[in-house]
A and B are shown apart, each in its own frame.
Chain A
Amino acid sequence: MNALLDVANVSKFFGGVHALDNVGLNVPTGSIVGLIGPNGAGKTTFFNVITGLYPAESGQFQFNGKNYLPHSIAQVTQAGIARTFQNIRLFGAMTALENVMVGCHCRSHTGVFGAVMRSKRVQREERDIREKSFALLHYVGLGEFADHTAINLSYGHQRRLEIARALATDPLLLALDEPAAGMNATEKLDLRELLLKIRGDGKTILLIEHDVSLVMGICDSLTVLDYGKTIAVGSPREVRNNPEVIRAYLGNG
């Protein structure tokens, strides 16, 4: 399989601290790749660099066969990488449906004149956006909550809504930052099903996650970070038995 995302030599300094030291990642098309490591290892920092939230100070970035420089979040999304956030960042005052409709923004074209004139073409695009958003809500299991205000949804539902919204941008790669955080066991099972379904429908997934069983269960490969450095890359079984990884999680001695 070809690499959809191939990133190498990413370093990042914050003040004097080496938050990332030559970290790389390879995500083959159609796979689910996990990025794991103890707290503070730099996983979210890495995410933020490859999605353009933090400026990249170094590194080579290849996505979908082309070089890319992640200098702005919007541009990265337009290129086909959609992400969710560790602390859910929904548009609280909007309904679930409207949240997903915002996700359709970068794949639609109506501008100011179109919005004001409301030509047939524009009306059709609006209908399409609406239908697509409804469909996505159903896809993640939130169909009946379409008219609920996002901020009133349960935690687990909010996380799923974020995924639906990210899917609305028609990404090639879905980058999820701790999608299972705060979920109970049932919700995690549902999430696992959803992620497998998404992968089954042709998307590639990159996942930061702390829940070891979830990650071991669905990831095709794992990259482990500790103190900003890559300490292991491989299949879940290889990584699970890697002494460096065990040491990182459990400490020395």
Chain B
Amino acid sequence: MANGFLIVLNFISQRRMVLLLAILSLLILPWCIGAAGGNYWVRVLDFALLYVVLALGLNVVVGFAGLLDLGFIAFYALGAYTFALLASPHLTQSFAAIAALFPAGLHSPIWLACLIGALLAATFGIILGVPTLKLRGDYLAIVTLGFGEIIRIFLNNLDRPINLTNGPKGIRAIDSIELFGISFAKSLDLGFIQVPALYLIFYLFLFLACLATVICMRLQNSRIGRAWVAIREDEVAAQAMGINTRNMKLLAFAIGASFAGVAGVLFAGFQGFVSPESFTLWESIVVLAMVVLGGIGHIPGVILGAILLAIFPEVLRGVVQPIQHALFGQVIIDAEILRQLIYGLALILIMLYRPKGIWQKRGASTS
């Protein structure tokens, strides 16, 4: 038996070994964290994975096509509200006609909502892109910011005259995620182990993050990815190569937006509740900070940046407040403020001292 094991080991190259180990550690990660820190930290990890998808999406827009989108979170919001409307009692309660059509209530399957959410977000991405493509970098940033705000204002106010979004109160009682008959809101009994719901979510989101990563890497090393970098480097020269730069930029917007849309759908299913408060400019800035920290355009860096910046404030919360209590007897700066302080400083300092991100990409391809 041991001999057989050694023979297998010989066949597996070093690279594959590393990959295998990585996969194994990821698989047992929730168990380790759950044991060490409890469910709270597994939840943090779950959200971190959603941020990874968001950051990868924004990376396509900012990093690959060079378009600074400050309203990116609006696509996340669109995805979230898509699922909220398609899988909660809100529409059936607000509109008798819909209640009549769906007597058992609206319970769209999540894969369908993901599809619709992605398409909706992509469509809005294109709507945003069409008038703004000719704009210079800073104008584009402000316009996209305005777009993000417009979406938020509509979400906040569309409870009159017809109650579409339930305004600032948000939409509650959203269905939990259910795939292949497995409910992700209850633990799964596999006989020899019980997998808690939060761990199931982790695996699902991990799968999504890996999918997003693979898609990004494939795009990067393709004709499309090269065109995007060309546009970023020198748009006129890119046009001289026969590249339809307008369509390429719209494509970047659409793809980035669709990532956010899908992430939004899952967010709604995970959290069970959405409100306009979750989709402010601050959130767009958070995702931007993740992309910037990781190195604009650098996929592994962006993933790292997303995970670090998603986990960091939680670490801060757990550490800073007790320290302040010990030192000062009270909390002078609460963790939320500290988090914002650090994000602000990070954006400035990275631009000043390490504009290529904390994990620099070796070699030439993307800057």
Contacts and interface: CB of A to CB of B under 8 A. Distances in A.
Contacts of A93: 229, 233, 364-367
B245 A74 contact: yes
A80 to B, nearest CB: 10
A82 B367 CA distance: 27
B233 A94 contact: yes
A250 interface: no
A102 B218 contact: no
A226 interface: no
Given A89-B236, A92-B233, A94-B233, A103 B223 contact: no
Interface string B222-236: 111111011001101
A108 B223 contact: yes
A90 B241 CA distance: 11
Contact of B239 (A74, A101, A110, A166): A74
Q: Is the interface of B mostly helix, strand, loop or mixed?
A: helix
**Interface range on chain B (Cβ under 8 Å from partner):** 20 to 34
B251 interface: yes
A239 to B, nearest CB: 29
Counting chain A CB atoms within 10 Å of each CB, the highest count among B227, B229, B243 belongs to B243
Nearest to B214: A116
Contact of B224 (A74, A94, A111, A168): A111
B37 interface: no
Interface in B74-88: none
A198 interface: no
A21 interface: no
Nearest to B211: A116
Interface string B349-366: 000000000000000111
Interface string A69-85: 00011100110001101
Contacts of A111: 224
A78 B219 CA distance: 23
Nearest to A115: B222
Contacts of B241: 74, 77, 102-103, 105-106, 165, 168-169
Contact of A129 (B215, B223, B225): B223
A112 B142 CA distance: 28
Interface in A99-124: 101-108, 110-112, 114-116, 118, 122
Contact of A90 (B225, B237, B255): B237
Contacts of A125: 223
A114 B245 CA distance: 19
A68 interface: no
A105 B237 contact: no
B238 A102 contact: yes
B255 A74 contact: no
B224 A89 contact: no
Given A74-B245, A103-B241, A112-B255, A94 B223 contact: no
A92 B233 CA distance: 7
Nearest to B254: A112
Interface in B241-272: 241-245, 251, 255
A115 B242 contact: no
A53 B226 contact: no
Counting chain A CB atoms within 10 Å of each CB, the highest count among B229, B234, B237, B243 belongs to B237
A227 interface: no
Given A105-B241, A169-B242, A112 B230 contact: no
B207 to A, nearest CB: 16
B239 A115 contact: no
B242 A118 contact: no
Contacts of A11: none
A93 B297 CA distance: 12
B337 interface: no
Interface of A: 51, 53, 72-74, 77-78, 82-83, 85, 89-95, 98, 101-108, 110-112, 114-116, 118, 122, 125-126, 129, 149, 165-166, 168-169
6 contacts: A74-B244, A105-B230, A105-B241, A107-B242, A110-B222, A169-B241
Given A78-B242, A116-B218, 11 more contacts: A74-B242, A77-B242, A91-B234, A92-B234, A102-B238, A105-B226, A105-B230, A108-B223, A112-B219, A115-B224, A125-B223
Interface pairs A-B: 8 shortest CB-CB = A106-B242, A115-B222, A77-B242, A89-B237, A73-B239, A91-B233, A149-B364, A93-B367
